[in-house]
Structure 1
Amino acid sequence: MTALARDRFAVVSSDSDELILVNQHDEEIGSADKLLCHDGKGMLHRAFSVLLFNQHGELLLQKRAAEKRLWGDFWSNSCCSHPRVGESMHEAARRRVAEELGLEIADLVYLYKFEYHAQFGELGAEHELCSVFIGRCDSEAEPNANEISAVRWLSAAALEAELNADEAAFTPWFKMEWAHINKHFKAELEALYNS
């Protein structure tokens, strides 16, 4: 686990960022700032999740910075965020991996898209149409401490054990993604490990 210092990192996202509002068919219907998108029960908007695996099949997990409004201090997938207006999902995913983890990942493989809603008490909610990507990474991350408090590599077996012991320590979207990937995309993961 890597502890991080904050002063050498730039802030790369803010509540004023414009997010893309969509309907359930992923058709754009407008935009709204990030703060508004996550208020109350949330507004449906585009998002993505990236899961990075190394040559040993271990997944890079991040612990979200404690100061994050929603699910701060929870463990999650390697990177998750939102595309900007006019930006493709692949471009956004590569950009955000670089901003959050200091990694340049050229090849991200799109797996699937799903809609979810998760309430975080009175603080707000996530209501996202989320595209899920996997990628191969054999470099050490240099996380942005304004976004991430720690990172670690974890095998599938170790992750399953932790989820069974304390699933409340993980973000809701990551738990959904991990269960779906394990059920439907084992061949894609094997191909990634062996690439």
Structure 2
Amino acid sequence: MADASPRHPTVSSEAEQLILVDADDRAVGHASKAAAHDGCGQRHRAFSLFIFNGYGELLLQQRSRSKRLWPGYWANSCCSHPHQGESMEQATERRLQQELGMRCPLRYLFKFEYQADYRGLGAEHELCWVYAGTCTQPVRANATEVEAWRFVAPAALDREIARYPEHFTPWLKLEWAQLRRDPALSACLSPPAGG
């Protein structure tokens, strides 16, 4: 694990407060990140970003091995939680910059709820907002959050998930399946004109 430094600052902690929500995404309270992920997890608001390059390839990140849940697993470009009083637009912009050193316009795609347990060490129970964007800026990954990163073509990711599902986080597999099967969402998987 890389040490925190000005180039790789610590941007999350088990003490940070997450927004607990009901099934309709109405705030019902707060809990620490640690408490929200204990046991079967408490439903909380989250977001998940899919960042594509100019060739229509998806940026994947390998989660830091210091993470409590799914360490070393491959996930989509960026995932996190909004802070209290922060809009989703502010939260996604903040985290994309903190984690990958990138800025780009994002398009809201869909919202969904999932719950997934990790080896008895805790669980995710998120009401997750999913966004996509295209960015040609270089990746400047924060090593306290990201072990490794790579770009992959959609068809290649389909094959890799089918062959090695155990290498990927449950939310990536759920979100990617929805993106691939919904024609209204699949436009985000096409490279921009001239890309």
For the superposition of Structure 1 and Structure 2, which TM-score range results when normalised by the shorter chain? over 0.9
Partner of 2:160: 162
Deviation at 1:193, TM superposition (A): 2.7
Counterpart residue number, 1:33: 32
Distance 1:62 1:146 in 2: 12
1:122 Cα deviation after fit: 1.3
Please state if 1:92 is matched with 2:91: yes
Equivalent residues of 1:53, 1:193 under 8 A apart: no
Distance 1:39 1:101, change over 3 A: same
Q: What's the secondary structure of 1:48's corresponding residue?
A: strand
Give the paired residue count: 190
Give the Cα–Cα distance (whole angstroms) in 2 for the partners of residues 98 and 113 of structure 1. 22
- The structure richer in helix per residue is 1
1:193 aligns to what? 192
State the 1:140 CA deviation: 1.7
C-alpha separation in 2, matches of 1:22 and 1:83: 12
Equivalent position SS for 2:23: coil
- Matched-pair contact (CA < 8 Å) for 1:102–1:143: yes
Bigger drift between 159-168 and 173-182 goes to 159-168
Greater mean alpha carbon deviation, residues 65-74 or residues 6-15:
6-15
The one-letter code of the counterpart of 2:57 is E
Q: Unmatched 5+ residue regions in structure 1? A: none
Distance 1:165 1:101 in 2: 27
One-letter amino acid of the counterpart of residue 140, structure 2: E
**How many Å separate the matches in 1 of 2:67 and 2:187?**
34
- Aligned counterpart, 2:65: 66
User: RMSD across aligned C-alpha pairs, in angstroms?
Assistant: 1.4
Percent identity, aligned pairs only, is 47
Moved over 6 A (4+): none
Corresponding position of 2:176: 178
TM value normalised by structure 2 = 0.94
Q: Secondary structure at the match of 1:161?
A: helix
| Separation in structure 2 between the aligned mates of residue 21 and residue 90 of structure 1, nearest angstrom | 18
**CA contact 2:154–2:189 (8 Å) conserved in 1:** no
Counterpart of 1:13 in structure 2 is 12
Map 1:1-150 onto structure 2 (within 5 A). Answer: 5-8=2-5, 9-105=8-104, 107-150=105-148
Once the two structures are TM-superposed, the CA of residue 6 in structure 1 deviates from its matched residue by 4.0
Provide the rounded CA distance (Å) in 2 between the counterparts of 1:139 and 1:26. Answer: 33
Q: Which amino acid aligns with 1:187?
A: A
Task: Give the 3-state SS of the residue equivalent to 2:112 in structure 1.
Answer: strand
